[in-house]
Structure 1
Amino acid sequence: MKPPAWLFRFLLNLWPPFLGAGIRVKRLAADFSDIEVQLKLSFGNRNYVGTHFGGSLYAMTDPFFMLMLMHQLGRDYYVWDKSGSIDYLKPGRGTVRAHFRLTPETLDEVRRHTAHGDKYLPQLLVDVVDQQGEVVARVHKTLYVKRKKR
């Protein structure tokens, strides 16, 4: 049995890599279709020049698309992170946020591509934005999805 969204959010916020970096899950939809994550600039995630450490920016985006898809598709699917990359577009200062969304169209596409047991590698994007709404970094994620044999 998977925990309800409120409990999952609570546990993610206590997860040592997130807790240590100052990453907070601010909102998690009950159906796992929408997640908002934030990272405040602090001594623990500041780099040598006083802006957000790039590793913390990537860490705040790393597991969410995989977790969302796992919960949305259920136990009949394998879902793994296959690859990821990040483009740093401007220095991150202050509080930054990432807003993850999985649309019904994306879920339909995944189900359609995996219906006959084929693997599918959806590519998803999320922007990390600052308090002014400007994009600080763009994260590209490729997932591995395959329907389990019955």
Structure 2
Amino acid sequence: MHWSAKTLRRFMNFWPPFLGAGIRVKEFADDGSRVVVAHKLNKLNQNAVGTAFGGTIMAMTDPFFMLASMARLGKEYSVWDVAGEVRFLKPGKGTITAVMEIPDETFELIKERTADGSKYLHWFDTEVTNEAGEAVARVRRQVYYRRRRSATDKE
């Protein structure tokens, strides 16, 4: 299934785990170059000490490098989110935001590394920041890429 960036943004905003956690997709560029996700803390989505759950911070970035890549690369590629790491730096209070960007050069590298059908694993880094622009967490996501074989490749 291949959805447009606009459809993905709408779907993710109503996806029950994100809806319940208070995670909102604010921006999803059509070309897969940029995704902005925010979480506004309230009484229903805070942990025992009144801050954002660590799992919520991690979930803010969970599918987006993969989904942005799928939006950009299309059906010609198999794309999977395969690993994630987080380093918590300070409590997440108020509204926290993750800006995930994939520059054109990264997409060119992916195409180059997978041109012969090889798999390629790429790490993406992003920060989750508070309203003052301070880093709350540093998140790394690893995404798997492989160019799919076409009918002409199989012959």
TM score, norm. by length of structure 2: 0.92
1:52 alignment counterpart: 52
Question: Are 2:12 and 1:12 equivalent residues in the alignment?
Answer: yes
Separation in structure 1 between the aligned mates of residue 118 and residue 76 of structure 2, nearest angstrom: 13
Cα deviation digits, residues 18-76 of structure 1 (max 9, x gap) = 10000000111122211110000112321111111101111111000000011111111
8 A Cα contact 2:31 2:72, kept in partner = yes
2:31 alignment counterpart: 31
- State the Cα RMSD in Å: 1.2
State the AA in 2 paired with 1:97. Answer: T
Separation in structure 2 between the aligned mates of residue 4 and residue 145 of structure 1, nearest angstrom: 19
Separation in structure 1 between the aligned mates of residue 45 and residue 78 of structure 2, nearest angstrom: 33
Separation in structure 2 between the aligned mates of residue 3 and residue 23 of structure 1, nearest angstrom: 20
2:41 alignment counterpart: 41
2:106 alignment counterpart: 106
Q: What residue ranges of structure 2 are gaps of 5+ in the alignment?
A: 151-155
Q: Which runs of 4+ in 1 moved over 3 A?
A: 1-4
Instruction: Give the aligned length.
Output: 150
Deviation at 1:91, TM superposition (A): 0.8
Change (3 A) 1:79 1:2: closer
Cα deviation digits, residues 94-130 of structure 1 (max 9, x gap) = 0000001111000000011001111100010111000
1:61 alignment counterpart: 61
TM score, norm. by length of structure 1: 0.95
1:80 alignment counterpart: 80
Identity, % of aligned positions: 47
Q: What residue ranges of structure 1 are gaps of 5+ in the alignment?
A: none
Deviation at 1:11, TM superposition (A): 1.5
Cα deviation digits, residues 74-99 of structure 1 (max 9, x gap) = 11111001110111011111000000
2:153 alignment counterpart: none
Question: Are 2:134 and 1:126 equivalent residues in the alignment?
Answer: no
